[in-house]
Amino acid sequence: MLEVSKEVTVERNITLIDRDNISERSNILANEVRIALVYNGISHTVMLATPEDIEAFAIGFTISERIVSNINEIKGVDIEYVENGVIVNIEITQRCFMALKEQRRSMAGRTGCGLCGVAQLDEAVKPIKEVPNTVNFDLGLLPDVLLKIKEFQRTYEITGATHAAFGINLAGDVIYAHEDIGRHIAMDKLIGTFSQRNAEKPAAVLLTSRASFEMVQKAASAGVEVLFAISAVTALAAEVAEQSKITLVGFCRNGRATVYTHPHRLQLHEAPLQPALAECE
């Protein structure tokens, strides 16, 4: 039986081979544990995740997967550490629980995979949910934002093994930051944090990963209007963002950004972007 550690990182002895040199040393690894999500006493899914901010993950997953429509339909979260993982007991309203039972699917979560075990293909893409239109974000702030996020990626700096999701306000400040070995989990943790009562909702979300359609879908579930990704955007992600009315921006690095959908929420040097604009510097 694998021993469960609550630590974000673990130390392991390794053999380092560097050209012809061989040395023994210790190495720091990102930790991952099995987390079982149980709704009203019924097991729903098991995910692999970094063992921190577990309550935020449970809340964010419950919202982003549309098991509930808002935080008020989550009545309680209880975390239990057991010999081979973590059990998170989530109590939701009876109405939500009955709906979950009707559309229940078997999901086996794996690192970096958000669709493993989906029983039917048409369950992969959820019905389109449009986000509001309240944000006007200055794209000129983005280079400074990208510099700021490095100080929040402590686990990545040590291990090089984690993704991160950041909540950004209109001033370009990082107001929320979450790391995890899984990009979907980092996003869920972020959603769980800002979805709680009296929490400030970010003007935009920045991902250190690619923007796949699941990430856009999660953003839509949480009402995120602007989604930035340091890496690429997939075709289905752009399609879902277009229909969800999300402003989707990829390749945010080196002073550049590629705008795929709904540029009207963005401005550059106080000038609004034009709908035909695909790339800006």
Burial 162-193 (b: 16+ CB within 10 A, else e): bbbbbbbbeebebbbbbbbbbbbbbbbbbbbb
Distance, CA of 277 to chain centre: 27
Determine if residue 256 is labeled as part of a ligand binding site.
Answer: yes
CA 158 to chain centre: 20
Instruction: Report pLDDT for 142.
Output: 96
Q: Is residue 213 a known part of a binding site? A: no
pLDDT of residue 3: 64
Instruction: Assess contact for 165 and 189: CB atoms under 8 A.
Output: yes
Give the three-state DSSP class for 170.
coil
Predicted confidence at residue 278, as pLDDT, reads: 44
Q: Could you say which architecture CATH assigns to the domain 137-280? A: 3-Layer(aba) Sandwich (3.40)
Adjacency order of strands within the sheet including 163-168: 174-180, 163-168, 204-207, 226-229, 247-253, 256-261, 279-280
List Cβ neighbours of 212 (8 Å cut-off, separation of 6 or more): 114, 234, 236, 237
**Residue 4: which H helix or E strand, with range?**
none
Domain ranges of the chain: 33-123, 137-280
Q: Which residues pair with 68 in a beta bridge?
A: none
User: Closest by alpha carbon to 214, among 195, 233, 189?
Assistant: 233
Rounded distance between C-alpha atoms, residue 211 and residue 234, angstroms: 7
Does residue 113 carry a catalytic annotation? Answer: yes
Architecture of domain 33-123: Roll (3.10)
Query: In the chain, which ranges are continuous DSSP H helix?
Result: 54-64, 94-102, 142-148, 154-159, 183-194, 213-221, 235-244
CB 277 within 8 Å of CB 259? yes
Residue entry with tokens 């400040």? 173
* Inter-residue contact 280 to 268 (CB < 8 Å): yes
- Two structure tokens written together for 133: 């239109």
- Look at residue 281 in the predicted model and tell me its pLDDT: 42
The reply to whether 252 sits in an annotated binding site is yes
According to the annotation, is 251 in a ligand binding site?
Answer: yes
CA distance 26 to 23: 10
pLDDT at residue 103 in the model: 73
Sign of CA dihedral 242, 45, 62, 83: negative
Which residue, among 122, 126, 67, 62, has the nearest Cα to 100 in the 3D structure?
A: 67
Give the pLDDT of the chain (281 residues) as one tens digit per residue. 566 788 999 999 999 999 889 999 999 999 999 999 999 999 999 999 999 999 999 999 999 999 999 999 999 999 999 989 999 999 999 999 999 988 765 443 444 455 554 555 556 678 899 999 999 999 999 999 999 999 999 999 999 999 999 999 999 999 999 999 999 999 999 999 999 989 999 999 999 999 999 999 999 999 999 999 999 999 999 999 999 999 999 999 998 999 999 999 999 876 777 654 444 44
